[in-house]
Amino acid sequence: MSCEYFADKGMKIEGNYWLVHPQTGEAWDEESAAAFIAGYQPPHLSEEAIAARKDELVDEIKRAVYACLEAQQWRVTKAQEHLLAAELSRDDAQQQEAKTSLQAELAKREALRQKSDEAELEVAELTSIEAIDAFSFTAEL
């Protein structure tokens, strides 16, 4: 929304009419109305709103990554069990295969964490609500 000045009704701010200046309590005149309109920033576009939305977006990224890592934890457990079984059997070929499998699973998880860190840095650089709303992140291993 926006703000408009009407000499007979006062200042219309975000759909509500104000007969006096909301911060000073003084009656509107042409100068105070012009100054207010020039410096007006809608609440949803304020720096605080942008910072809050960035924080929400970072939290969404963290939750998505956590859920993905939790959903795939069984793969790491399986690889660890295969490694343990190979160590118990003392089969060098099996041990190497199990280590390689475990390393691959751990590398996928680390790549997702790196992707998450990069996404969080991208979010920190966004400067508008539109850019924040356009940003998307998908957590996948």
Q: What would the pLDDT profile of 20-67 be if each residue is shown by its tens digit?
A: 988 889 988 888 888 888 888 777 777 888 899 999 999 999 999 999
Q: Is 7 contained in some domain?
A: yes
Q: Do 57 and 126 lie in a common domain?
A: yes
CA distance 15 to 123: 31
Q: Do 7 and 53 lie in a common domain?
A: no
Q: Is 63 contained in some domain?
A: yes
pLDDT for the residue 49:
84
The kind and range of the H/E element at 5 are strand 3-6
The answer to whether 127 and 118 are in contact (CB under 8 A) is: no
pLDDT for the residue 14:
83
Say if residue 1's pLDDT is above 70: no
Q: Do 51 and 29 lie in a common domain?
A: no
Q: Do 130 and 82 lie in a common domain?
A: yes
**Residue labelled with tokens 């924080």:** 55
Q: Do 66 and 121 lie in a common domain?
A: yes
Q: Is 139 contained in some domain?
A: no
Q: Do 34 and 63 lie in a common domain?
A: no
Q: Is 35 contained in some domain?
A: yes
CA distance 57 to 78: 33
pLDDT for the residue 108:
97
Please give the radius of gyration of the chain, using alpha carbons only, rounded to the nearest integer. Answer: 28
pLDDT for the residue 38:
85
pLDDT for the residue 62:
97
pLDDT for the residue 22:
87
Q: Is 130 contained in some domain?
A: yes
Its domain, for residue 22, covers: 3-40
Q: Is 52 contained in some domain?
A: yes
Q: Do 25 and 53 lie in a common domain?
A: no
Q: What is the pLDDT of residues 59-105, one digit of tens each?
A: 999 999 999 999 999 999 999 999 999 999 999 999 999 999 999 99
Q: Do 111 and 55 lie in a common domain?
A: yes
Q: How many domains does the chain have?
A: 2
Between residues 4 and 2, the one the model is more confident about: 4
